[in-house]
Structure 1
Amino acid sequence: MSRPEATGWTPRFRRRSAAARDWLEGHALTLTALATAAVLVVMLYLPVGIVFVEAVLAEGRLTLSHVADVLTDPFYVGVLADVFAEPLALRSHLSGLAGWIAAISVSASLETPVPGLDVPIPWLRVDVPAVRKGLFGFTAYQATLSTIASVALGLPAAAVLANYEFRGRQTIRSLTILPFVLPGIMVAVGFYAMFGRAGTLNALFGFVGLGPFPFIEWNPLAIVIVAHAFYNAPLVARVTVAAWESVDARAVETARGLGASPRRAFRDVVVPQLLPAILTGALLTFIFTFMTFPIVLALGGLKLATVEVWIYDRVRRLAYGEAATLAVLETLLSLALTYAYLRYESAQAGLARASSPPPREPLFPDVRTALSPRRLAIVGYGIVALVVFVGPVASLVAGSVTDGGGLTLDHYAFLLERQLEGASYQTLPWTAIQNSLLFGVATLAVAVPMGVVVSVVTTRAGRGGAVVDALAMLPLAVSGVVFGIGLLRGLVFGIPLPGGWRFQLTGAGAIVAAHAVAAYPFVTRNVSPLLSTLDPAMVESARALGASRYRALVDVELPLVASGIVAGAAFAFAISIGEFSSTVILAGGGDTYTMPVAVERYLGRRSGPAIAMGTVLLVVTAASFVVVDRVGGRFER
């Protein structure tokens, strides 16, 4: 029997293997992009599509009855119900429309009960004149108030960070990343720990013999608005500081040289360049607060329901048609707002940083300057910022080790007892921590490659890249609750296939899919700007030396954007740890609950253990973010 080498079989095999390897390497980027597209179709577009289809189906037939029922119900759209019921009589409804718009910004007087509840809802009220906001009207109303509060808190911070130099400035600027790191349910529990009957604020009043005061019961909407400002004011500050530092100081000096006063130069030169960034921050804040869920659910519940909270309630009551219709209408509104944001971002992508940014002056150069009205105003703002931004987090930690009688570890002892007794309880702390960490690691493994591939495609596809970018950024416009409904009704319940097969994704797999879809856009947003600024000559040189397109990407481009990949990975992990909206739907009554879900479950029974669990969530989130950032930093160049 002859050896393989003698027959020439081995050389042929090696040539074919080399040819196959070269083909795979040459088409690796295309194949990876197709695989990513397939994952997005199955895990994103299919679930969202199922929600849209359920909104227009009734007993298997195509119908718009669900949509018509919602649009003609005053409970949902207020006075606009008359307009949708009789669109041809629009002229006679103009006064009602004006009143509805006014109702978004005018305080109310009388309460309207919600069907199925025994208590009146403070936000569904009859204004003067008698005009109802409805569910969508109230959601827009609270989003508008939250946006105003966020801008009012964020702009002074941007002015201080952009114009003054002081110790800790860079650290404070880095902390403006908080909106994307801290879980919403944890922020809600922090505000509960601060403003609750046994909270920090009442403890301070107790020292002078006052209280306790039911701040949350008195005005839960005000607490929700401040909580939203906690989340979004740093975002407004971050985008505004970037714009402020891009202002060319020479243009301001030219205006001053032509006789303009400092105030006139600021108004005519600086403000027009800041306005787009301010509007962008306001638009993003409105989108985020319009789709708000965990903060309202924890602090107000159905008594302060937004569209998102009501969708969640409809799902729990198995009213899927109604939930799907509300989800579609909410998604269409958020898609329009997200499209406006992406258009602005693409228009600003080519703007370069100013070669001569405005100089920063010392914040407190001497005692005399420190007593000036402007510096005193900054100190006053600093006190407000401490109360709003530091107070809830400090109250969360303090509330976990105190009760009405002083220092105690009873809340942590309760969690430990729950864990030790095990099977007799539905929600175990250690199980929640393990699940959160495991889901976070799995999310990294899925979301980071997806985000990088989307970044490469959008930056290399020319005009078509804008279309791909818009389609890939759908998770920014679709809320976690809507996505959770789609996964629940589609992949979790199962999709029939030919031959009697059924495609199904349940338990941990469904939750990881939800987390990865929510997280990968943040990887893309961190990597794409770096990829777009790389010199094409470097890639061309690598290709000229014989590297395939895939090898040039792996060996040249990705190492140069490692910092963006690391930042995106940190975001993805933190988002997975804190994701609540879709997880609370998908976890159900099983053992796949996470720390945010455990916090919400405890909060519905005993506030002390919920605050302690929220503190554990805070520590795990912060530690995880630091570990991912430090480990990833080793690979940066």
Structure 2
Amino acid sequence: MVKRSNWWIISFLFVIGGLFVPLFFLFYKFGGANFNVIREHSNIVRFTIFQAFLSSFFTLLLGLPGAYIIARTKTNKFFNSIFRILSSIPFILPGVTMSIGFLMAFGKNGLITRLLNLFGFRERILYTFTAIILGHVFYNFPLYIRIVGETWEKIDSSLIEAAKMDGAKNLKIFFTIELPLLTSSIIKAFLLTYVYTFTSFSVALILGGIKYSTIEVAIYMYTKILFDFKSAFALSIFQIFFISIVSYILTFEKEVFQTGKSLKDKFPIWGYFYLFIAIIFVFIPLFYSLISGFIEYGGKLGFENFKRLITLDLRRYVGTNLSSMIIYTAFFAITSSVISVLISIASSSKNKLQYIMFLPAAISPVTLAFSYISLNINQFISIPIIHSFITLPIVYGIISSGWKAINKYSIEAALLDGANTFELVFKIKIPQVKYHILTAFFYALTLSIGEMSATITISQPPISTLSISIYRLLSSRRIPEARALNTLYSLIVILLFSLVEYLRNRKVNN
């Protein structure tokens, strides 16, 4: 009999210690919390809860049809891969990068604005509640493509074919067979979307403005502008409590793995309308963001922005040069991704730890960053650790879903052959989840590269990452150089997600 591994204890201590020890120290240092601020800002609390639900609902409406098209329809392989890659990119874009695309698409002279004007729609979209909802849908619908879409692909075609032989129509098959198998994944995607939109910072601030502040924006205001840490801490505690309840609900859902080759239906007529909507509200802003570096003043295409970026004295504006910026970004991204993956692997076999692994999503990155500053922790240590917490919910979700799908018969056979714990993990389990591990690693890399709020709070010159540098260039009105750097960042993201798609195709083909 193989001795049960206790590696999960390290994961548990890392998450609890890394999150709450600095927060308790911050609480002690500033003498408690001002809980009256929750009542004083009840309008912000109500708005945060409401906009998160509405954003999650509309993300579901856009994400579910996309998951169906990817998983259950006959589409060109190249189109399928491109759609997966492009639909994944919005989730990891930093707020400043997203804002460039939205400003160019929905601004006064933007393509979508002009298109809407042709149909008589002249209402302003930017800096409204509608803009916040659109931004959240833009950011989070990739969760449905990945989580629900990949589960949909596992549904055995024999179940669908048997129902069709009994005379069942597609709609009945969906509600009686597919939906029950997908419910777990849909709930997970919806709750994750709710968590991310509840803790929204850059989308609410950039697209909505101060009028539509969320709790996260209020926390930032109290810590960075007003230096009222008691009020910020009280709002953080409320946010942790509320999101912890949502995270705890995730522990009740049960994964259903009905594996097999999926049945591919003919591409539906409504799919063309769906693609039109997705292109208008997701892919046009994304496209603008990706090519922004090539768009010069006046709309002319060229390389002038890149020439200006190369010749600009970056130290004056961002505190470091281009090569050092890339090195810092790579160091923080790789280190934090390795930590996040190792913690997830160590805890994936312990189902009860799922609640703990989602806790980082409940804590404001700005508050967490200030708590590490209060402990005087070196930024080369604190930034990778905080980045690992930010990426942990997604990384754990990907790896744990693969861990649950491990063939139990292979484990039993290995045990009968006398395999020890090391052999069981590295020769039986890891090979079966290597795709999930690599996918999670690349997701963590891209999320870390794009992280802004915690990094800008902690980092001091000469430390500057790609996303922070884009923000600082925009703030300094160096728009052409910011666009060029944004395009370089976007190309890195596309490369990483191309690798994810390559790994997925290899897994499917095998």
The alignment's TM-score, normalised by the length of structure 2, stands at: 0.83
Which of 329, 350, 360 is 1:475 aligned to?
360
For residue 303 of structure 1, report the CA deviation from its aligned partner: 3.7
Structure 1 residue matching 2:312: 3-state secondary structure = helix
Opposite residue 450 of structure 1, the aligned amino acid is I
* 1:298 alignment partner in structure 2: 206
| Mapped pair 1:188 → 2:105 | no
For residues 270 and 451 of structure 1, the distance between their equivalents in structure 2, rounded to whole angstroms, comes to 29
Mean CA deviation greater in 380-389 or 237-246:
237-246
For residues 222 and 484 of structure 2, the distance between their equivalents in structure 1, rounded to whole angstroms, comes to 30
For residues 635 and 153 of structure 1, the distance between their equivalents in structure 2, rounded to whole angstroms, comes to 27
For residue 301 of structure 1, report the CA deviation from its aligned partner: 4.0
* 2:21 alignment partner in structure 1: 46
* 1:341 alignment partner in structure 2: 250
* 1:495 alignment partner in structure 2: none
Which of 344, 348, 371 is 1:486 aligned to?
371
For residue 50 of structure 1, report the CA deviation from its aligned partner: 4.1
Opposite residue 475 of structure 2, the aligned amino acid is G
Opposite residue 306 of structure 1, the aligned amino acid is T
Pair 1:424–1:305, CA change in 2 (3 A): closer
Is the 8 Å Cα contact of residues 89 and 497 (structure 2) preserved in structure 1? no
Is the 8 Å Cα contact of residues 176 and 238 (structure 1) preserved in structure 2? no
For residues 558 and 205 of structure 1, the distance between their equivalents in structure 2, rounded to whole angstroms, comes to 51
Any stretches of 5+ residues in structure 2 without a counterpart? Answer: none
* 2:285 alignment partner in structure 1: 392
| Mapped pair 1:360 → 2:264 | yes
For residues 535 and 572 of structure 1, the distance between their equivalents in structure 2, rounded to whole angstroms, comes to 26
* 1:327 alignment partner in structure 2: 236
Q: Deviations over 1:367-394 (max 9, x none)?
A: xxxxxxx62x432222221122221122
For residue 237 of structure 1, report the CA deviation from its aligned partner: 4.2
For residue 165 of structure 1, report the CA deviation from its aligned partner: 1.0
Pair 1:152–1:485, CA change in 2 (3 A): same
For residue 71 of structure 1, report the CA deviation from its aligned partner: 3.2
Which of 325, 338, 351 is 1:432 aligned to?
325
Structure 2 residue matching 1:165: 3-state secondary structure = coil
Q: Deviations over 1:35-68 (max 9, x none)?
A: 54454344233234445x46xx864xx6x6x11x
Is the 8 Å Cα contact of residues 154 and 233 (structure 1) preserved in structure 2? yes
Structure 1 residue matching 2:390: 3-state secondary structure = helix
* 1:144 alignment partner in structure 2: 53
* 1:90 alignment partner in structure 2: none
| Mapped pair 1:590 → 2:461 | yes
For residues 144 and 319 of structure 1, the distance between their equivalents in structure 2, rounded to whole angstroms, comes to 29
For residues 12 and 236 of structure 2, the distance between their equivalents in structure 1, rounded to whole angstroms, comes to 24
Which of 129, 134, 139 is 1:226 aligned to?
134
Is the 8 Å Cα contact of residues 450 and 467 (structure 2) preserved in structure 1? yes
For residue 324 of structure 1, report the CA deviation from its aligned partner: 0.9
For residue 326 of structure 1, report the CA deviation from its aligned partner: 0.7
| Mapped pair 1:602 → 2:473 | yes
Structure 1 residue matching 2:463: 3-state secondary structure = coil
Structure 1 residue matching 2:257: 3-state secondary structure = coil
For residues 151 and 173 of structure 1, the distance between their equivalents in structure 2, rounded to whole angstroms, comes to 17
Pair 1:631–1:419, CA change in 2 (3 A): farther
Is the 8 Å Cα contact of residues 318 and 464 (structure 2) preserved in structure 1? no
For residues 275 and 562 of structure 1, the distance between their equivalents in structure 2, rounded to whole angstroms, comes to 26
Pair 1:621–1:163, CA change in 2 (3 A): closer
Which of 462, 466, 472 is 2:351 aligned to?
466
Pair 1:556–1:233, CA change in 2 (3 A): closer
Is the 8 Å Cα contact of residues 357 and 392 (structure 2) preserved in structure 1? no
For residue 333 of structure 1, report the CA deviation from its aligned partner: 0.9
Which of 215, 220, 243 is 1:312 aligned to?
220
For residues 380 and 633 of structure 1, the distance between their equivalents in structure 2, rounded to whole angstroms, comes to 27
For residue 612 of structure 1, report the CA deviation from its aligned partner: 2.5
* 2:271 alignment partner in structure 1: 378
* 1:370 alignment partner in structure 2: none
Pair 1:199–1:611, CA change in 2 (3 A): farther
Q: Deviations over 1:180-234 (max 9, x none)?
A: 444444223221232234644468799x9x99x89455x4332222121112223
* 2:437 alignment partner in structure 1: 565
Is the 8 Å Cα contact of residues 191 and 246 (structure 2) preserved in structure 1? yes
* 1:419 alignment partner in structure 2: 313
Opposite residue 404 of structure 1, the aligned amino acid is G
Pair 1:411–1:529, CA change in 2 (3 A): same
Opposite residue 46 of structure 1, the aligned amino acid is V
* 1:113 alignment partner in structure 2: none
Structure 2 residue matching 1:473: 3-state secondary structure = helix
Opposite residue 336 of structure 2, the aligned amino acid is T
For residues 262 and 423 of structure 1, the distance between their equivalents in structure 2, rounded to whole angstroms, comes to 61
* 1:72 alignment partner in structure 2: 39
Structure 2 residue matching 1:590: 3-state secondary structure = coil
The alignment's TM-score, normalised by the length of structure 1, stands at: 0.68
For residue 263 of structure 1, report the CA deviation from its aligned partner: 5.3
Q: Which structure has the greater CA radius of gyration?
A: 1
Pair 1:467–1:603, CA change in 2 (3 A): same
Any stretches of 5+ residues in structure 1 without a counterpart? Answer: 1-25, 78-133, 364-373, 460-464, 493-504
For residue 325 of structure 1, report the CA deviation from its aligned partner: 0.8
Structure 2 residue matching 1:343: 3-state secondary structure = coil
* 2:398 alignment partner in structure 1: 526
> What's the % identity of the aligned pairs?
22
Q: Give the length in aligned residue pairs.
A: 499
For residues 176 and 430 of structure 2, the distance between their equivalents in structure 1, rounded to whole angstroms, comes to 42
For residues 549 and 601 of structure 1, the distance between their equivalents in structure 2, rounded to whole angstroms, comes to 49
